[in-house]
């Protein structure tokens, strides 16, 4: 009886009545909540805007004709709309070909990387083998050592590729592998690609979290190792693997370090983009029939478009796979 | 193998012995669970072992050797080395006009950015962990830098002088426009409050865009840590009369602080790998345009050693700080 009465008063009494009953606590509580949420909204809006704004600016300046760039009355909305800039950038970056090349190399490399990293991570998570600690320290080292430290000798060893001197003994010459995708595919297959230490770490963390009894049950039922791995572990691990794949794909897409060193002979978009400035003057000189100095504003505009073209496919991908992206790292965080 | 040895093997486990036995076909101990585990485990990580030895350990040793040598290219044959001792290191640190300057600048920037990124990503993660409208959208936007600040993208636009020009113009116009941070800076330095500290703080504020762009992954890591905290902890604290502020410092912070180390290391490495890192640019230039392999190897080793020292210091400080909470 008394209980229902309390509810009655609580729900029907006015705000001030309830505030009076609580001794001013309700007002303070509501006010502080409002202030916090307004402050939070402002902060979030500001920071989000800061992240999005460069994209918007790139988009709007990309549509401007050259005079608009120097017109101080034009800030965001172009007066003379044009899609010509996109055509120019497309030609500058060897567009359809470079994009296709980027697509297939990124796909190939990231698939190889994720496959090998998954196997290695599973090995680290589940089996006891000699020198396990040492090899795991090597994984950590792989994360820490920047590839720039070893780029010189990697460059050398692939420019003059040889396995224990076999090629030199048989043909008298070493093989230059730098002109093919083979070295990088090999490196990806052996977990030495871009940030692969990180993927091994993430996946190992995931596999460690899966209860061991699952595999033990499979073992008792006579399921072989590979079978257990493929049929029991892999299906559950798919979201984590997928997110590692996405990271790998996206980072490979924009990467210049490995691309510049190993895929120099392919026309890859990120490579094209990184050297776009030098190609720009040549392009305009051809058009005008004489040497031209490309004005800074124009250069900047074209670079912006290049950057936009580079990230738009990734952003679209991200929109569809946002949840998957985050999944792997959410697993990782719980430990260490 | 004798019966005795076999019996011994089943009870007494030696990883080294097992490692050897694993590879002997027809070995009597081949089928024990441990040996099986060792065999299969090694098979699983075999790609890594091969890759690490071929593409990591070997190049690292080579590049370390190179840094003590004068390297000249021989077409079709590879390269020749002549031992020059520490000359390459001396050259990098004392002769090269730019390396020193870039190194000091970049390392300073790295230290400031790392601290700022940690603070920033922690604050953002705490906010994103709260319930509010549009949270999903905000999260999506905050993780966008993972894409937008990777690889070729961040550096390319700063290489251009156009921005410098614009910045110069903005400064000239500064009298009419309101530049809050400069005004505030002037005000504070006029009132004579600790100059150096404020310089650092204002540097952070000025580079807030870079910091936000660099903290995508760190936010996810912190957020995952926050989400793994059991809500019942907060409920218990609430029942005991703990305020939100108190429960933040007594529950949230200690629970998430181990992740500080992970993020600290990640941030430092990420800064290293950045495309717009001028030290790395210089090294690349010396390698592929001047073909001075020895000097570039020495330069990258110096830089790596410094970063390693930073990671070590960061790890030390953070592990001390975390321990005090336990």
Cα angle: B256, vertex A249, A207; to 5 degrees: 50
Reply yes or no on whether the pLDDT at B170 is more than 80: no
Q: What is the CATH number of the domain that holds B142?
A: 1.10.3720.10
Q: In Å, how far is A16's CA from the nearest CA of chain B?
A: 24
Paired tokens of A292: 């031209």
Q: Stretch B170-193: mean pLDDT, rounded?
A: 57
Q: How far is CA B108 from the centre of its chain?
A: 15
Residues 193-212 of A with CB under 8 A from B: 200
Q: Which residue has the tokens 């572990």?
A: A233
Question: Is the CB of B41 less than 8 angstroms away from the CB of A142?
Answer: no
Size of interface A-B (CB pairs under 8 A): 276
CA B202/CA B184 separation, integer angstroms: 9
A88 shares a domain with A52:
no
B65 lies in a domain? Answer: no
B144 shares a domain with B18:
no
CA B239/CA B253 separation, integer angstroms: 19
| ipTM of model over 0.85 | no
B290 shares a domain with B159:
yes
Do B51 and A191 form a contact (C-beta atoms < 8 A)?
Answer: yes
B239 shares a domain with B129:
yes
B259 lies in a domain? Answer: yes
A53 shares a domain with A109:
no
Reply yes or no on whether the pLDDT at A179 is more than 60: yes
Q: Which residue has the tokens 């486990």?
A: B13
A28 shares a domain with A102:
no
Residue to substitute from A130, A152, A305, interface B, most B β-carbons within 10 A: A152
End-to-end CA distance of chain B, in Å? 51
Q: Stretch B212-240: mean pLDDT, rounded?
A: 87
Question: Is the CB of B51 less than 8 angstroms away from the CB of A191?
Answer: yes
Give pLDDT tens digits for A22-70. 888 888 888 988 998 899 999 899 889 888 888 888 888 888 887 777 7
Give pLDDT tens digits for A258-308. 887 777 778 888 888 888 877 887 888 777 777 777 777 788 888 888 888
B130 shares a domain with B33:
no
B157 lies in a domain? Answer: yes
CA-nearest residue to A155 within chain B is: B59
A77 lies in a domain? Answer: no
B266 shares a domain with B126:
yes
Q: Structure pTM?
A: 0.81
Give pLDDT tens digits for A83-126. 888 888 888 888 888 899 999 999 999 999 999 999 999 999 98
Residues of chain B contacting A41 with CB distance shorter than 8 Å: 132
Q: Stretch B111-115: mean pLDDT, rounded?
A: 86
| Any A CB within 8 A of B59 CB | yes
Of residues B137, B157, B283, nearest to A307 (C-beta): B157
A72 lies in a domain? Answer: no
CA A276/CA B53 separation, integer angstroms: 36
B67 lies in a domain? Answer: no
A251 shares a domain with A166:
yes
| Any B CB within 8 A of A253 CB | yes
Reply yes or no on whether the pLDDT at A18 is more than 80: yes
Q: Write down the pLDDT at residue A336.
A: 40
B240 shares a domain with B184:
yes
B141 shares a domain with B238:
yes
Do A209 and A203 form a contact (C-beta atoms < 8 A)?
Answer: no
A328 shares a domain with A188:
yes
| Any A CB within 8 A of B19 CB | yes
Q: Write down the pLDDT at residue B7.
A: 54
Residues of chain B contacting A174 with CB distance shorter than 8 Å: 76-78
**Helices A95-126 and A234-254, packing angle to 10 deg:** 140
Mean pLDDT of chain A: 81
Question: Is the CB of B212 less than 8 angstroms away from the CB of A130?
Answer: no
Mean pLDDT of chain B: 77
Look up the domain containing B14 and give its range: 3-56
Residues of chain A contacting B156 with CB distance shorter than 8 Å: 273-274, 276, 303, 306-307
Look up the domain containing A19 and give its range: 2-62
Dihedral of the alpha carbons of A231, A237, A243, A247, in degrees to the nearest 10: -80
B117 shares a domain with B11:
no
Residue to substitute from A45, A49, A89, A149, interface B, most B β-carbons within 10 A: A149
B125 shares a domain with B31:
no
Q: Which of B220, B216, B219, B223 is nearest to B147 (CA)?
A: B216
For B70, list phi and psi in degrees, rounded to 5: -95, 120
CA B322/CA A40 separation, integer angstroms: 28
B236 lies in a domain? Answer: yes
A75 lies in a domain? Answer: no
User: In total, how many domains does chain A have?
Assistant: 2
B71 lies in a domain? Answer: no
């Amino acid at each position: 009886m008394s209980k229902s009465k309390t509810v009655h008063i609580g729900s029907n009494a006015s705000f001030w009545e309830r505030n009076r009953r609580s001794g001013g606590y309700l007002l303070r509580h509501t006010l502080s909540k409002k202030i916090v949420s307004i402050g939070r909204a402002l902060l979030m809006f500001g920071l989000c805007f800061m992240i999005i704004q460069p994209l918007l600016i790139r988009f709007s300046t990309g549509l401007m004709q050259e005079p608009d760039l120097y017109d101080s009355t034009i800030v965001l909305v172009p007066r003379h709309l044009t899609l010509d800039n996109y055509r120019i950038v497309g030609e500058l970056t060897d567009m359809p070909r470079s994009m296709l090349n980027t697509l297939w190399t990124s796909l190939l490399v990231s698939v190889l990387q994720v496959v090998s990293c998954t196997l290695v991570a599973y090995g680290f998570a589940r089996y006891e083998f000699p020198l396990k600690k040492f090899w795991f320290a090597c994984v950590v080292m792989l994360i820490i050592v920047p590839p720039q430290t070893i780029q010189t000798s990697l460059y050398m060893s692939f420019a003059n590729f040889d396995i224990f001197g076999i090629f030199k003994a048989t043909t008298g010459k070493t093989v230059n592998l730098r002109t093919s995708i083979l070295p990088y595919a090999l490196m990806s297959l052996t977990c030495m690609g871009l940030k692969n230490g990180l993927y091994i770490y993430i996946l190992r963390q995931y596999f460690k979290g899966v209860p061991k009894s699952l595999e033990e049950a499979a073992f008792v039922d006579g399921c072989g190792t590979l079978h257990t791995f493929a049929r029991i572990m892999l299906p559950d691990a798919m979201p984590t693997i997928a997110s590692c794949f996405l990271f790998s794909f996206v980072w490979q897409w924009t990467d210049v370090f490995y691309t510049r060193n190993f895929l120099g002979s392919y026309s890859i978009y990120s490579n094209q983009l990184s050297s776009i400035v030098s190609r720009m003057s040549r392009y305009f000189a051809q058009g005008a029939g004489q040497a031209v100095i490309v004005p800074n504003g124009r250069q900047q505009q074209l670079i912006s478009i290049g950057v936009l073209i580079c990230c738009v496919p990734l952003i679209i991908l991200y929109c569809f796979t946002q949840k998957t992206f985050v999944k792997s790292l959410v697993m990782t965080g719980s430990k260490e | 193998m004798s019966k005795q040895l076999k019996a011994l093997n089943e009870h007494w486990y030696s990883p080294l012995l097992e490692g050897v036995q694993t590879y002997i076909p027809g070995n009597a101990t081949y089928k024990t669970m441990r040996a099986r585990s060792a065999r299969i485990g090694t098979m699983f990580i075999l790609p890594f072992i091969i890759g690490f030895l071929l593409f990591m350990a070997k190049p690292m040793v080579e590049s370390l050797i190179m840094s003590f040598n004068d390297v000249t290219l021989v077409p079709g044959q590879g390269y020749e080395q002549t031992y020059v001792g520490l000359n390459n290191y001396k050259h990098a640190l004392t002769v090269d006009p730019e390396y020193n300057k870039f190194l000091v600048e970049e390392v300073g920037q790295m230290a400031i950015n790392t601290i700022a990124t940690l603070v920033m990503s922690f604050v953002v993660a705490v906010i994103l962990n709260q319930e509010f409208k549009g949270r999903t959208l905000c999260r999506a936007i905050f993780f966008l830098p993972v894409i937008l600040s990777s690889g070729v993208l961040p550096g390319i636009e700063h290489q251009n002088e156009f921005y410098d020009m614009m910045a110069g113009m903005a400064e000239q116009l500064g009298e009419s426009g309101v530049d809050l941070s400069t005004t505030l800076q002037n005000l504070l330095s006029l009132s004579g409050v600790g100059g150096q500290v404020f310089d650092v703080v204002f540097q952070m504020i000025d580079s807030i865009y870079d910091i936000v762009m660099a903290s995508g992954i760190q936010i996810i890591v912190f957020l995952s840590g926050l989400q793994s905290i059991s809500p019942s902890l907060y409920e218990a604290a609430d029942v005991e009369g703990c305020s939100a502020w108190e429960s933040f410092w007594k529950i949230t912070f200690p629970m998430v602080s181990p992740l500080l180390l992970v993020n600290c290391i990640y941030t430092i490495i990420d800064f290293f790998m950045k495309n717009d890192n001028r030290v790395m640019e210089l090294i690349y230039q010396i390698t592929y345009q001047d073909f001075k392999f020895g000097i570039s190897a020495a330069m990258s080793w110096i830089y790596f050693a410094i970063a390693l020292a930073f990671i070590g210091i960061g790890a030390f400080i953070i592990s001390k700080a975390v321990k005090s909470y336990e």
